[in-house]
Amino acid sequence: MPDQISKIARSATLRQLQVFEAIARHQSFSRAADELHLTQPTVSMQVKKLVDILEVDLFERIGRKVYLTESGQALMEAVEQILSSLSVAEQKINHIKGFAGGTVKLTVISTAQYFVPRVIHEFTKEHPDIKVAMRVGNKEQLLNRIQGNKDDFYVLGMPPEDLNVHSSPLAVNPLAFVANASNPLVGKRLEIHDLVDEPFLMRESGSGIRSHIEKVFADFKFEPHVKMVLGGNEAIRLGLLQNLGITVASVPTVINEINVGDIAILNVKGFPINRHWYLVYPRGKVLSLAASKLIELLKREGESISERAFKKFHNEEGYS
């Protein structure tokens, strides 16, 4: 073994290598500190110890960002292999452990939080020794977590084609124009251009629904009269209940209000548009038995959601 490598193995700690990798990935000491739940002085101290061991500079600072030196790049290649190997080993061990304790981690797109918790509740009743940690975020946040291999699996809209993941459709997610039930447009047969002057409630930037809606509107050559930009499905739901405008929403996110008659689906030609939720995890991921079981339950629920959506829009007359 070369002297320089043996010096790292003998003197450096795994934590120092994790800190180094996080700084290199974020190009920022402060963002690495936030991710690792450490103070910035602690992060700086860990890097200094590595520098003292290797007797070379690992980073150079240009403006507000830090960049790897040539020596830092050489170390980064080795650290990525080390951390990746440890992650694979942990996944294999978790698979061997099966249901004897452990945690399943998943992150879901905000629209999916309206059905995923039901499945988690069913799963934890059957397997009380397993902990399930679920995060909710928009598409941009999920893609960042996927690239960082933060979770066991993810539920989101169509993943980008260049993402190195295994993905499969989980459930249909119909997008439809919706409004307060008292809106005079309810019950009418409409073309999309009949809505050009209606106040429109738009989702925030980074939302998967917003990016999809914008593409659909471009195809229709339709420009909505955006009255408000609201962050999240809950804000959209409250805006509809207060009759602030119309929107295109994921029907499952407002299905309770539709069922009790507070919100109505507008009969607009060309809608609903059937998007899908996808179940996604990185290629090469070794899923634990617990994660595989939870995925199995999610797929079962997805089939049920898709069947109910099909019946709703095909049994009601007038919807295009």
Tens digit of pLDDT for each residue in 133-192? 999 988 888 998 998 889 999 999 888 888 889 999 999 888 999 999 999 999 999 999
Burial of 61 (0-12, 13-18, 19+ CB in 10 A): exposed
Taking residues 124-136, report their average pLDDT.
90
Q: pLDDT confidence of 124, banded at 50, 70, 90?
A: very high
pLDDT tens by residue, 14-44: 999 999 999 999 999 999 999 899 999 999 9
Are 135 and 151 in contact by the 8 Å Cβ rule? The answer is: yes
The pLDDT of residue 47 is 93
The pLDDT of residue 317 is 46
The pLDDT of residue 318 is 46
Are 26 and 43 in contact by the 8 Å Cβ rule? The answer is: no
The pLDDT of residue 97 is 63
Q: Is it the case that residue 315 has pLDDT exceeding 70?
A: no
Taking residues 275-281, report their average pLDDT.
92
Which CATH number does 3-95 carry?
1.10.10.10
Taking residues 297-301, report their average pLDDT.
94
Q: Is it the case that residue 67 has pLDDT exceeding 70?
A: yes
Nearest to 156 by CA among 178, 176, 171: 171
CATH class belonging to 173-275: alpha beta
Residue 228: CB atoms within 10 A of its CB come to 14
Q: Which residues of 120-152 are buried (b: 16+ CB within 10 A; e: fewer)?
A: beebeeebeebebebebbbbebbbebbeeeebb
Taking residues 289-312, report their average pLDDT.
86
The pLDDT of residue 95 is 67
Report the sign of the C-alpha dihedral through residues 109, 130, 164, 302, in that order.
Answer: negative
The pLDDT of residue 256 is 87
The pLDDT of residue 6 is 67
Percent of residues, the chain, with pLDDT higher than 90: 57
Q: Is it the case that residue 240 has pLDDT exceeding 80?
A: yes
Cα 102 from chain centre: 22
Are 116 and 302 in contact by the 8 Å Cβ rule? The answer is: no
Average pLDDT of every residue of the chain: 88
The pLDDT of residue 75 is 94
The pLDDT of residue 151 is 94
* φ, ψ of residue 297 in degrees (nearest 5): -65, -40
280 vs 133: CA distance, rounded Å: 16
Q: Give the CATH number of domain 99-170+276-309; options: 3.40.190.10, 3.90.79.10, 3.40.50.300, 3.30.930.10.
A: 3.40.190.10
Q: pLDDT confidence of 1, banded at 50, 70, 90?
A: very low
Overall size of the chain counted in residues: 320
CATH 3.40.190.10 domain position(s) in the chain:
99-170+276-309, 173-275
The pLDDT of residue 266 is 96
